[in-house]
Amino acid sequence: MAKKKKFFVSTALDYVNASPHLGHALEKAQADVIARYHRFLGDEVFFLSGTDDNSLKNVRVAKREGVAVKKLVDRNSRKFYQLKDALNLSFDDFIRTTEERHIKGAQKLWLACEKDIYKKKYKGLYCVGCEQFYKEKELENGLCPEHKTRPELVEEENYFFHLARYQKKLKKIIETNKIKIIPQSRKNETLSFINQGLEDICISRSAERAQGWGIDVPGDASQKIWVWFDALSNYINALGYAEKSLNFQEWWTENKDKLHIVGKGILRFHAIYWPAFLLSAKLPLPKTIFVHGYITSGGQKMSKSLGNVIDPFELVEKYGTDAARYFLLQEISPTEDGDYTQEKFEERYNADLANGLGNLVARVIALRVKLKIHPVKCRSAAISSKTKLFNRAKIKKEINKTQREYRKALDDFKFNEALKEIWKLISFCDKYIEEERPWEIENTKHKTKNKKVIEDLLFALSVIAQMLKPFLPETSEKIIQQLKTRRKGEILFPRI
């Protein structure tokens, strides 16, 4: 029996200074689709998510709330974990940066990079929101381009990493797609930053400024490891890097198919700093970095600091898990910013889910019951290029075309395009019903023809259900169950 291909996919670690918002849900939903898709293709998948407990902003929020930092991060990290149930996420592991396995791994990586680490006094502009230093020229009217806040002037003695040493190597790695950055515009952005000249970066802060929170620099308790050096190592720490486990060997060292899914605001950390740390430590690089945009709310970036966040738990409670997933994956561009409004959500829900998919399933099942046609078996290989179809050429051609375009779109992380292909097939089926008019049962000849039409449509629904699995897993299963029974099923998406 052939050994299964391994596929590793991760989300970025979320800061836990506040509860999750819809922007966090977007990244999780995208990663979940990719994980489910690869499992369906037969790959062995390791899907990793988690939280960043060690940021300085956590310390400040805890102080403002008058609670212990640990209590704050425990409370909010738990909320991020609860997205698993709210969004029906299928991650295999969830790591926190306060866990022992992570602390040991971060310190081990530091020691592995020691030849590139030195100490010096430094003064610079630091954004606590981004957890990074900025140059004056990188600011917009003196403000952080990401958070629109004024960075703090920090002056202290810290440890630095020799990033400049890796400029040529990193440029070649990105140019030749040894690490493939998607979309192309983000690859160009990364190369532009490298071509401006890389400078060494600060990778620690004083324990005093960190207020005692964070991971100690090995051998120097007066310093805490910079939160990004610490956080980025989670990808290997969750696999057992600290103890060089079999999991680490199989999923990171020997596995070439490693994907990071991140937001555009943290591209530099993943496409430049992280590969540099790995090169320094003589560890394998990731294969792909997929970069998504932001969800805006009324045209502004959705942000805890701006106070315009949408609560994903409330959205799910009101409309359901799959409706929330559908909006995120269809309405929001995979790589560009997308805007959320209540009106857009409800319009998309009614048009595509209630009137589109839901109406088609209800019509076909009702006709199946009326014509007393036996339930059908769903073909589990519906996404596979080897799927064998029935003989009716017209619908067979449409299904084959849909599957081909669907696979192509998902391989390119074009979630909305994959969904559009499914909805084209739904529209085709609606048109097919109107053209064939299977409710006309005046004579035996019509009955035989109508039976074939409904069988065609039932099979098309089974294919649609299979293609929906990565996107709308609950709905997919409901359709499959309705296809197996002789009774009319529940309404999938009641109109709102």
Residues designated catalytic: 21, 24, 127, 130, 144, 147, 301, 304
Q: Are 407 and 381 in contact (CB under 8 A)?
A: no
Say which DSSP state 177 is in: T
Neighbour count for residue 161 (Cβ, 10 Å): 23
Query: How far from 19 is each of 16, 431, 470, CA to CA, in Å?
Result: 7, 45, 26
Say which DSSP state 2 is in: P
Angle (deg, nearest 10), helices 359-370 and 473-484: 10
Q: Are 298 and 48 in contact (CB under 8 A)?
A: no
Q: Are 202 and 158 in contact (CB under 8 A)?
A: yes
Report d(CA 152, CA 127) in Å as an integer.
Answer: 6
Q: Of 325, 235, 228, whose CA–CA distance to 47 is shortest?
A: 235
What are all long-range contacts of 436-439, with beta carbons under 8 Å and residues at least 24 apart? 438/367, 438/371, 439/367, 439/370
Chain centroid to CA 227? 22
Neighbour count for residue 441 (Cβ, 10 Å): 14
Say which DSSP state 350 is in: I
